[in-house]
Structure 1
Amino acid sequence: MVNLVLNENMKIYRRVRTWILVGLMAAFVLFVNIIEWHSDGKKAQGEGWRQELQQKNKQWSEILKQPNLGDDDRKFYQEQIALNGYHLEQNIRSTDGTMWDGVNGSANMMILITIFTIIIVGDSVAGEFSSGTIKLLLIRPASRVKILVSKYISFLLFGMLLLLTLFVISVLVNGILYGFGYMDLPLVSMNADGQIVEKNMVLNLWKTYMLNGISTVMYITMAFMISSAFRSSAMAIGFSIGALFAGNIVMGALHRFDWSKYLLFANTDLTQYLAGHPFQDGMTLSFSIVVLAVYFLVFNLISWLIFTRRDVAA
């Protein structure tokens, strides 16, 4: 099994496409963080953060006076005003103008890791069958199940490598741009009960990356299943990326239905529980983990059924 995994890793990292995607991700992270630093990185230096928060609260208070403001928007502005007020009362500096603002923002770029990994995964099984190289694997004494598992493990490792790369580049870039000060700055947030709490910034950041990593695992598993069903790499990649974006759009339309909480895309973003805003009221982290576990087993079962029974004569 170890040799099979090493062989699959060799296939991944020998491709020029793989390093192009890694380079694109690193370049995008650099570009976005430098642009954000250039545009607002120097706004809240020294005690300037207090004036900035006061100004924001004043602006948002004016917005709350609008009679046609939606309930969700009204709740958002009320929470932000309360959080800013807590910062001012407790004399806790906001993250604006510090490295934590950029590092936390970079966590939102997980979508890049998902897309790039899907591109690699989509060309795995489908590419092997379309090019005929799958025959070179099947003539080995290893069973089809071992071959399938080795491919899956190699893609999970690749996704985790991209996740680690994103974190390291983000910390280094933002540390250089903003300086490595305010390392003990707490993260002030509001929980599901409407209470303002202080969290450890580093611990919360790691939780965010780990929970996003679970989301990446689910998308890798889904893309792997789709790749097992197609002979065309382009179709496998297209369907996987299409499902990624279409799923989030569809969830917005189905949000009003209670049964939508059982759908995959309602549970992939586990960071919703860190923010205290689940997709639907009553959803918990345990609930989402159970739902994802069911989908995980179903996706892998379908991949196994398709791969082990697939004809390689063509």
Structure 2
Amino acid sequence: MKLFSLTYNELVKQFKKPSIKLLSILILVAAIIFPIAINSIPENRYYKSTMESNKFLLQDAELYLESLKDDKTQKGKIKFEYAMINIEARKLYVENEVGHRDWREKEIENYRNVSSNLAAIEFVLEGYEKDIVLENLQNDDSNEVEKYFNMTLAKKKEIESNFIAEKEKIKNIILNNDYIAHTQEEINRTNSQIAQLNSCISEYEKLMKKNPTDEAGKSKLLELEKKSKDAKIRIPQLQQDMEVMKFRFDNKIDYDLNNWKNNSIQQIENELIELRNPMLDEKQYSSQASLEGVEMTYDEYVKNFNKKREVTINQIKELWYGLENNITVLNQIKDARSVLDGGYEIFVVLAVIMVIIIGGGIVATEYSKGTIRLLLIRPVSRWKILLSKLLAVLIVGIGVVFIGIATLYISTGVVFGFETYKTPLLDTISGSIVHLSYIKFLLSKIMISCSSLVFIATLVFLISTVAKNTALAVAISMMLYLGAVPATDMLISLKQTWIISTFIPYINVSYLRLIPSTQQMLSQSFGMQLEYTQGAIQLILISIVMLLITFITFIRRDVKN
């Protein structure tokens, strides 16, 4: 009962401080405003800058065209035609407001390429000199264009007619914003690529049966063998891409960045690209590691590569499962779950800062003011006095975390809808996809993040008690908390990946999650993952050791005048 009374009195004393009151109010206000601010951010935040860039490029293209008007040579006319094609493409960007990550961007580039193809055949039809045409081609295969010169007029006209029809078809897709037609065209283009690759394989197999003995035949066979091997690797990849495109087409899924199904499909496409990165053999890895100064054995590389591959495969499975069962995967759209998941760490950071402010002076101030003697003459054990102060610090820190997150939960639900919280999370366990409660998942992440809070609370408490210096306790704790991740990043950039096996990176788990640059660096450069649970366990164990030192020092210390 005395311990409860001491803790209560300590809490009352701390919350009488204006700075603590102000910080508490700011935390609550932040929890209310955060989802409103996030909701006001446009999904395509680069739209405005992209529009300005397109207008600038159009003006630049028009100025270039003006400079070519007086050149009436065949070379000048060719350059003029290509400049006109560039302007036409730029006008499509500007007039149709095609921004960043817009599917129409791809169609405009297709339109530009077909326009260049059309221009090439028209140069031939207009009787331009062969050498001049071939020397000044843009975006065209000179070998293909060279063939035009030997074709009949009827064949040339046929090719021209096909390019005109293709150009008009693409333009209509862009102007009508016909995303379904775009997806169908993507499917057709992929089918065409697969057909070409199969043709290459067939050509190789036919020539292999003939078993040519002349040098030209052998050389051709070796060339086709290499192309055939590449084709056999590429075809399954294109078939995977086709499966994704067909799902989009069959389900009429648009390319809106606010559509979670579109975002899931795009992530599947990105994960498939990641999955296709081949594992290096020992010789290749040794060469690359030597060049980049990587301090990691080949066995470690293989282990990390396979682990990363497994994560990627599971991610693809979960995304497909979500699409097929109409379950939104976390962070695929701006909803209550995703906003809460992306913002709760802010309140852990604010709680840690409050803990440093309170913990830095909670014991040291008693010594500096001389009130420690009044505390110790009470009929209460020293350990209870110290424990009450520690509990006050932890209650404030953990209380700020849960009150801040609870307020954020409510405000986010109000802004984005509470029904989102009922959507289960998807996870892969033993090869099977299971449904998880979002709230349970969130609580487990909060507990791991709070390991940082407990560590910093015990650290600042230790310094405040042992050194009896508020400024020192605050400065060291703040420096360690804010500097842990930058120090980790610096060591990783120097290939010192051993650092992630220590507790140091996890001192500020919230920073690691809010700004995932450390994880990205590890993943891209080394195929490694941060072990948050392992880091949390280390922090808790070290915190226990620091508490033992703190209590033993306080209990045995004499209080001198």
Q: So what's the TM-score if we normalise by structure 1?
A: 0.78
Deviation at 1:122, TM superposition (A): 1.1
Determine the C-alpha separation between the residues in 2 that align with 1:111 and 1:282: 19
Q: Which residue of 2 aligns with 1:240?
A: 477
Deviation at 1:260, TM superposition (A): 5.8
C-alpha spacing 1:267/1:197, structure 2 compared with 1 (3 Å): farther
Which structure 2 residues correspond to residues 125-274 of structure 1 after superposition, within 5 A?
A: 125-189=363-427, 197-252=434-489, 253=491, 256=496, 258=498, 261-263=501-503, 265-266=505-506, 269=509
3-state SS of 1:198 partner: strand
Determine the C-alpha separation between the residues in 1 that align with 2:367 and 2:557: 10
C-alpha spacing 1:24/1:77, structure 2 compared with 1 (3 Å): farther
Q: 1:37 aligns with which of 28, 36, 39?
A: 39
Q: Which residue of 2 aligns with 1:111?
A: 349
Determine the C-alpha separation between the residues in 2 that align with 1:107 and 1:256: 30
Determine the C-alpha separation between the residues in 2 that align with 1:40 and 1:10: 43
Determine the C-alpha separation between the residues in 2 that align with 1:256 and 1:195: 35
3-state SS of 2:426 partner: strand
C-alpha spacing 1:33/1:284, structure 2 compared with 1 (3 Å): closer
Say whether residues 1:92 and 2:330 are aligned partners.
no
Determine the C-alpha separation between the residues in 2 that align with 1:257 and 1:63: 22
Q: Which residue of 1 aligns with 2:91?
A: none
1:232-261 per-residue CA deviation (whole Å, 9 max, x = no partner) reads: 322211111111122333344268455863
Q: Which residue of 1 aligns with 2:200?
A: none
Q: Which residue of 1 aligns with 2:259?
A: 48
3-state SS of 2:475 partner: helix
Deviation at 1:9, TM superposition (A): 1.5
3-state SS of 2:419 partner: coil
14-23 or 251-260, which moves further after superposition? Answer: 251-260
Indicate conservation of the 8 Å contact 2:365/2:468, yes or no: yes
Deviation at 1:174, TM superposition (A): 0.3
Determine the C-alpha separation between the residues in 1 that align with 2:499 and 2:406: 39
Determine the C-alpha separation between the residues in 2 that align with 1:293 and 1:56: 36
Determine the C-alpha separation between the residues in 2 that align with 1:61 and 1:260: 27
3-state SS of 2:420 partner: coil
Indicate conservation of the 8 Å contact 1:186/1:199, yes or no: yes
Determine the C-alpha separation between the residues in 2 that align with 1:35 and 1:175: 14
**Structure 1 vs Structure 2 CA RMSD:** 4.0
Relative contact order: is structure 1 or structure 2 higher (C-alpha 8 Å, sep ≥ 6)?
A: 1
Determine the C-alpha separation between the residues in 2 that align with 1:39 and 1:63: 29
5+ residue gaps, structure 2: 46-254, 279-287, 289-303, 513-518
Letter in 2 for 1:10: V
Letter in 1 for 2:325: Q
Say whether residues 1:302 and 2:549 are aligned partners.
yes
Letter in 1 for 2:448: L
1:115-156 per-residue CA deviation (whole Å, 9 max, x = no partner) reads: 221211112112222222323212322232221111111111
Deviation at 1:89, TM superposition (A): 2.9
Indicate conservation of the 8 Å contact 1:42/1:97, yes or no: no
Deviation at 1:25, TM superposition (A): 1.7
Letter in 2 for 1:132: G
Indicate conservation of the 8 Å contact 1:218/1:268, yes or no: no
Letter in 1 for 2:501: K
Indicate conservation of the 8 Å contact 2:361/2:470, yes or no: yes
Deviation at 1:184, TM superposition (A): 2.1
3-state SS of 1:188 partner: strand
1:12-55 per-residue CA deviation (whole Å, 9 max, x = no partner) reads: 2222222112112223333432221111589999x932123334
3-state SS of 2:327 partner: coil
Determine the C-alpha separation between the residues in 2 that align with 1:143 and 1:88: 61
Deviation at 1:172, TM superposition (A): 0.9
C-alpha spacing 1:4/1:107, structure 2 compared with 1 (3 Å): same
Number of matched residues?
Answer: 303
Letter in 1 for 2:264: L
Determine the C-alpha separation between the residues in 2 that align with 1:210 and 1:104: 14
Determine the C-alpha separation between the residues in 2 that align with 1:27 and 1:108: 16
Determine the C-alpha separation between the residues in 1 that align with 2:475 and 2:554: 20
Letter in 2 for 1:90: N
Structure with the largest fraction of helix: 2
Indicate conservation of the 8 Å contact 2:455/2:539, yes or no: yes
